[in-house]
Amino acid sequence: MKRPIEVFSVGIDFIQVVFRGRGDHLLRVGEQTIPVSGPLAVATFTDLSPATDYSISFGGRRSATARTLARPAGELLARVATVSDTHIGETGFLHWPRLWSQPNRTRFDDAHPVWALRAAADEIRAWSPDAVAVKGDVSHRDSAAEFRLAISILQTIGAPLLAAQGNHDGGNHRGCDAVAVAAELGMQFDQGVVRHDVRGAAVLMVESTVAGRSSGSIASHMTSARAAIDPEIPTLVFMHHQLMRWPFATYFPVGVPKPEADEFLRQIGSVSKRILVSSGHSHRNRSRRFEGIPVTEVGSTKDFPGVWAGYEVYEGGVVQSLRRIADPRVLTWTESTRKSMARAWGFWSPGRLRDRCFTHPW
């Protein structure tokens, strides 16, 4: 039986809770109460204190506890949001069972990826980031119509868009000239390695997509990445393909092979340790450390659990906090996708709370 309260996300000043249950209830954290209605809802408690333990009460009794993240030392330098694997154009999800959000399976403009991206854009706009990094697989079939819709939604955020291609944007999915089409629509897919200065931090967008392939490669970009990193400035490094941890594929889809992934991390780590590296592609949430560098994978907006990520860069460290998209229609859809892959997807994709949310001091 599922617990009625799940702590999905924490930050230095907030706790996000998923409620699964029947009827109408009040959730309480400290002096705050938020009404929720079953069978599924998300409640976010804000204005909390960093590095503090909180009890979460449900039905008048303590149901869960959560600890907010520690605030890194020094001033806040930048806030950067990311979205991964939006797949605008898709109308069904995965297999065993395959789930469809569009009854006639043709109206991709009114299917789950569109609902999810619109809701994520609304939440990100309210968070007021300095920039938004779009980590590939913007489209599903690499079509101009898909890019037109996706980019029009992303532009409603009102922040600079920093974008890298995914394999669905011109790798093993070839339709239009994704780079040219995106540029015409006002979004630049960065080629090679491109550094963007964002207030007191830097964002490196690294191209990992290879024409004709689902897997990725960054071997040709190591020298450029090293040259782009300033050891005096904290740097977020974003790409589409995940950096593989093992010398053989332990799951699919395959990302950047371990030998070049490890060498890339050593190369940039030799310049600075004030770095975080994050990718998409795998549609799952994971976190590890490689010689002191945090390396993360962030899931898709459109399937369970349905997330976007926020990064707060401080002089003394970085905070990663994922948010589950709270729009009721999106929440109902993403929850239904737990059933895919013979119900394994619900266990495989979300990762642990410490994969999704953490403070990393420099």
CATH code, 35: 2.60.40.10
From 319, 324, 338, 247, select the one nearest 278 (Cα to Cα): 319
**Full residue range of the structural domain in which residue 177 is found:** 76-361
Residue 59 has pLDDT above 90, yes or no: no
* pLDDT for 106: 82
Give 2's DSSP letter: -
Q: Do residues 294 and 346 share a domain?
A: yes
Task: Return the percentage of the chain with pLDDT > 70, whole number.
Answer: 99
Q: Do residues 232 and 327 share a domain?
A: yes
Task: Return the percentage of the chain with pLDDT > 90, whole number.
Answer: 94
Peptide bond into 253 cis (omega under 30): yes
Q: Do residues 195 and 290 share a domain?
A: yes
Residue 149 has pLDDT above 90, yes or no: yes
Q: Do residues 47 and 155 share a domain?
A: no
Q: Please tell me the least confidently modeled range out of 71-75, 100-104, 207-211, 296-300.
A: 100-104
Which residues partner with 18 through β-bridges?
Answer: 6, 42
Q: Do residues 58 and 156 share a domain?
A: no
Domain-terminating residue out of 67, 84, 99: 67
Average pLDDT for residues 86-103, to the nearest whole number? Answer: 95
* Single-letter amino acid, residue 54: Y
Measured between its terminal Cα atoms, the distance across the chain in Å is 41
* pLDDT for 1: 43
Q: Do residues 109 and 187 share a domain?
A: yes
Domain count, the chain: 2
* Single-letter amino acid, residue 141: R
pTM of the predicted model as reported, rounded to 2 decimal places: 0.97
**From residue 204, how far is each of 199, 201, 279, 355 by CA, in Å?**
14, 10, 12, 22
Residue 273 has pLDDT above 60, yes or no: yes
Give 262's DSSP letter: H
Lay out the sheet containing 32-37: strands in order across: 32-37, 24-29, 53-58, 61-67
Q: Do residues 117 and 228 share a domain?
A: yes
What is the rounded distance in angstroms from the CA atom of residue 252 to the CA atom of residue 257?
12
Q: Do residues 25 and 158 share a domain?
A: no
The confidence band for 105, taking pLDDT boundaries of 50, 70 and 90, is: confident
Q: How many other CB atoms are there within 10 angstroms of residue 236's CB atom?
A: 25
Q: Do residues 311 and 337 share a domain?
A: yes
From 82, 84, 102, 107, select the one nearest 92 (Cα to Cα): 102
Contact (CB, 8 A) for 358 and 51: no
The confidence band for 32, taking pLDDT boundaries of 50, 70 and 90, is: very high
Q: Please tell me the least confidently modeled range out of 102-111, 199-208, 230-239, 266-275.
A: 102-111
Mean pLDDT of the chain, nearest integer: 96
pLDDT digits (tens, 9 = 90+) for 306-338: 999 999 999 999 999 999 999 999 999 999 999
Q: How many other CB atoms are there within 10 angstroms of residue 1's CB atom?
A: 4
The confidence band for 135, taking pLDDT boundaries of 50, 70 and 90, is: very high
Which residues partner with 313 through β-bridges?
Answer: 78, 318
Alpha helices in 4-143 (DSSP H): 112-127
The Cβ-side half-sphere exposure at 104, using a 13 Å CA radius, reads 5
Q: Please tell me the least confidently modeled range out of 56-60, 96-100, 132-136, 172-176.
A: 56-60
The confidence band for 340, taking pLDDT boundaries of 50, 70 and 90, is: very high
Q: Do residues 95 and 59 share a domain?
A: no
Contact (CB, 8 A) for 195 and 166: no
Residue 156: both structure tokens together: 């409603």
* Burial class of residue 99 in the structure, from the number of CB atoms within 10 Å of its CB (0-12 exposed, 13-18 middle, 19+ buried): middle
Domain-terminating residue out of 46, 67, 88: 67
Q: Do residues 48 and 184 share a domain?
A: no
Residue 141 has pLDDT above 50, yes or no: yes
* H helix or E strand, kind and range, residue 342: none
The confidence band for 118, taking pLDDT boundaries of 50, 70 and 90, is: very high
* pLDDT for 161: 98
Domain-terminating residue out of 45, 67, 89: 67
pLDDT digits (tens, 9 = 90+) for 182-197: 999 999 999 999 999 9
CA angle 48, 327, 50 (to 5 degrees): 15
CATH number reported for the structural domain that contains residue 337 in this entry: 3.60.21.10
Residue 37 has pLDDT above 80, yes or no: yes
* pLDDT for 2: 64
Q: Please tell me the least confidently modeled range out of 103-117, 215-229, 252-266, 314-328.
A: 103-117
Average pLDDT for residues 164-192, to the nearest whole number? Answer: 97
The confidence band for 103, taking pLDDT boundaries of 50, 70 and 90, is: confident
* Single-letter amino acid, residue 22: R
| Residues in contact with 69: Cβ distance below 8 Å, sequence separation at least 6, in sequence order | 10, 11, 12, 50, 51, 319, 321, 357, 358, 359
**From residue 93, how far is each of 96, 309, 336, 352 by CA, in Å?**
10, 22, 10, 23
Residue 52 has pLDDT above 50, yes or no: yes
CA-atom Rg of the chain in angstroms:
20
Positive or negative, the Cα torsion across 348, 80, 53, 60?
negative
Average pLDDT for residues 74-82, to the nearest whole number? Answer: 98
Q: Do residues 243 and 213 share a domain?
A: yes
Average pLDDT for residues 69-82, to the nearest whole number? Answer: 98
